[in-house]
Amino acid sequence: MDTLTIRARASAGAAAWALVATVQAQPMSTAERFGQDIDAQIERHYASVERVYKDIHAHPELAFEEVSTARTLASELRTLGFEVTEGVGKTGVVGLLRNGAGPTILVRTELDALPMEEKTGLPYASKKRVSYEGKETFVAHSCGHDLHMASWVGTAKTLAGLKGRWQGTLMFVAQPAEEVLGGAKAMLEDGLFKRFGKADFAFALHSWPMAYGEIGFNVGAVTSSSDVFEARFHGRGAHGSAPDKSIDPVLMASRFVVDVQGVISREKDPFQFGVFSIGSIQGGTTGNIIPDNVLLRGTLRSYDPAVRAKMREGIQRTATATAAMSGAPEPDVKLVPSGDATINDTALVERAEASLKAAFGAKVKRLPPITASEDFAEYGAAGVPSMFFLVGVYDPKDVEAARQPQGKPLPGNHSPFFAPVPEPSIKTAVKAMSLAVLSTLQN
């Protein structure tokens, strides 16, 4: 993040907090004011919210193809009195509930699922298959977006049911294509803030393999930036029995995969997070032919922009040097930014944290940032003070058992066995998000 971006965010944050300065002197916490009423709303609506969850789980859709999913969420908002617009950023949904003077609060959920098979054995498990990149594949909500959507609907129902207790505008955003880090940008480029007004604050949550009832977050960076890496090493093909007639791109690619880790372990500050992983090596057709070229694909993750820049330069330099060592042409190297680190606004976190701790006590924790990436960062980059937090989804007994020396690790996000416990996870998520939003609205 450059200096101008930091200043712009700081300016936006100051303006937004000035808007809700009248809320700062509440005699009671938000949890004390609203806690019992939120619980009553959650119990009232839970059965319908769980039906939404299980229906979406069983019928997942891939990035920018979430037509049925978007229609379901749009319908839920309309029944609550939201002004709903579909097709924003291709398949996104925007719902506005205007309720007098006050700040505009954006609450985001994701719509898309993953191209993978579910192996949970749940009665509502996805069995869906689609064509993806020319091949047939299964589709599954193995990242928890279905739980996020159900919680989003539950939060909308809860806040709509408490309209007489707050003032402001709710902007509920159902965003496509988070898994490919393209949906937030698509909605912003389609005029999200120009068409519907710029939000003053933004919230999003994510399921995580913690105990249900637990809530985690931090200030500053909470997810990593992401760069897509691709490099093609060019050589000269030959018979496998005559390697001296070749310039071997397999050897170059292999050397690069090993040597580039020196950038991470020797050039980067060891106290700064940064990871570079190669996930795909493609080259050759059979064992006795040295190919002309080899293609590598990978990912680069970091929290700090300076670390990101240093690693990008080191990766490019290592690839060029690897080819030069073999007397080969310079490789084609691409490092394409696909998402910035998500940055939590300090003042927003501290305000929400007070309400969450009053309601959940010691189950609310500040955690180190996670290494995954999230395009929720785009809303912060657009100048909206934001908060991204995690909610647990597993039975606390199972979590404790997994922590033991011989314990079996619990499936994490993107595992085919990822299976949140719905009711306590969704109820916690709805209450936490409702409290976070209400902590910024005028009462």
Residue among 206, 233, 114 at smallest CA distance from 391? 206
pLDDT (mean) for 346-373: 96
* pLDDT recorded at residue 19: 56
Q: How far apart are CA 314 and CA 256, in angstroms?
A: 12
Q: Is the dihedral of CA 29, 32, 38, 39 positive or negative?
A: positive
Quickly state the pLDDT bin for 135 (edges 50, 70, 90).
Answer: very high
Tell me if 130 sits within 8 A of 62, measured CB to CB: yes
The full set of domain ranges for the chain reads 3-223+341-438, 225-338
Q: Any idea what DSSP says for residue 382?
A: T
Give CA torsion, residues 153, 80, 43, 31, to 10 deg.
80
Share of the chain above pLDDT 70, in %: 94
pLDDT (mean) for 394-420: 96
The pLDDT tens digits of the residues spanning 111-132 come to 999 999 999 999 999 999 999 9
Quickly state the pLDDT bin for 282 (edges 50, 70, 90).
Answer: very high
pLDDT at 415 over 80: yes
The pLDDT tens digits of the residues spanning 186-200 come to 999 999 999 999 999
Quickly state the pLDDT bin for 6 (edges 50, 70, 90).
Answer: very low
pLDDT at 25 over 70: no
The pLDDT tens digits of the residues spanning 29-39 come to 788 889 899 99
Distances (CA, A) of 232 to 191, 283, 316, 321: 37, 10, 12, 14
Beta strands 92-99; 168-175: pairing state: antiparallel
pLDDT (mean) for 47-69: 98
Q: How far apart are CA 426 and CA 434, in angstroms?
A: 12
Select from 3.40.50.1980, 3.30.565.10, 1.10.287.110, 3.40.630.10 the CATH code of 3-223+341-438: 3.40.630.10
Q: How far apart are CA 231 and CA 103, in angstroms?
A: 47
* pLDDT recorded at residue 442: 77
CA angle 211, 367, 23 (to 5 degrees): 100
Global pTM exceeds 0.75: yes
Q: How far apart are CA 151 and CA 172, in angstroms?
A: 12
Q: How far apart are CA 36 and CA 33, in angstroms?
A: 8
DSSP element (H, E) containing 107? strand 104-110
* pLDDT recorded at residue 31: 87
Q: Write the class of the CATH domain 225-338.
A: alpha beta
Q: How far apart are CA 140 and CA 142, in angstroms?
A: 5
